[in-house]
Amino acid sequence: MVWHRRSGALISAQFTHGAIDMKRFLLSLLAIVALAVAAVLVSPMSPIPGGALTGEVVEEPVNDWSFAANELVGRLETQVPKPRSVAVTCIVANGQLYVGCSSCSGRYWSQQLIAEPKVRYRVLGKIYNVTATRVTDPVEIAQVWRVRAARYVTANPEQIVDGFWFFRLESR
């Protein structure tokens, strides 16, 4: 038996030990949840946009993006109304660099690209100044879709998902 200071009652030591265990359990649970939230926020595919990109800026224009062909994800920084970056898929087809998204018409960053196509793109730790152009040519879309389908194991590489947009990124 243990004397409980607040109530002035004698209580079982087993009960106080259980309260301590519950407190430890809740603190541990809180720590696990905090770590999980932090992991999601800092992951490359986080749904929450980041700020301005940091890293080495490459000033020379790039004519062939084949060096980035093995990268799955890059970061795209838009400037409207302030610098903000998002993780996007990286697709290289015929030496050209593309980014894309599904349900793109409803995405904030795709609307920013249309409003101001001069953006920055980071891949392999380096930042490139690029101009984004929405791809509307059905032949070019089909070519890029096939490359994307092969990399991301899309069910049908010949059937482009409705609402999927591609943007071609060209050095400036």
Residues 120 and 159 in one domain: yes
Residue pair 120/171 in contact (Cβ under 8 Å)? The answer is: no
Domain ranges, residue 12: 2-42
Residues 38 and 60 in one domain: no
On whether residue 50 sits in a domain, the answer given is: no
Residues 60 and 17 in one domain: no
CATH code assigned at 77: 2.30.110.10
Say if pTM beats, i.e. exceeds, 0.75: no
Residue-wise pLDDT for 89-136, tens only, equals: 899 999 999 998 888 777 888 888 888 999 999 999 999 999 999 999
Question: 169 CB contacts (<8 Å, ≥6 apart)?
Answer: 65, 97, 98, 99, 119, 121, 128, 130, 131, 132
Residue-wise pLDDT for 43-91, tens only, equals: 444 456 678 899 999 999 999 999 999 998 899 998 877 888 989 889 9
On whether residue 23 sits in a domain, the answer given is: yes
Q: Which residue(s) pair with 77 in the sheet? A: 85, 120
Residues 68 and 144 in one domain: yes
**Count of structural domains, the chain:** 2
Residues 88 and 141 in one domain: yes
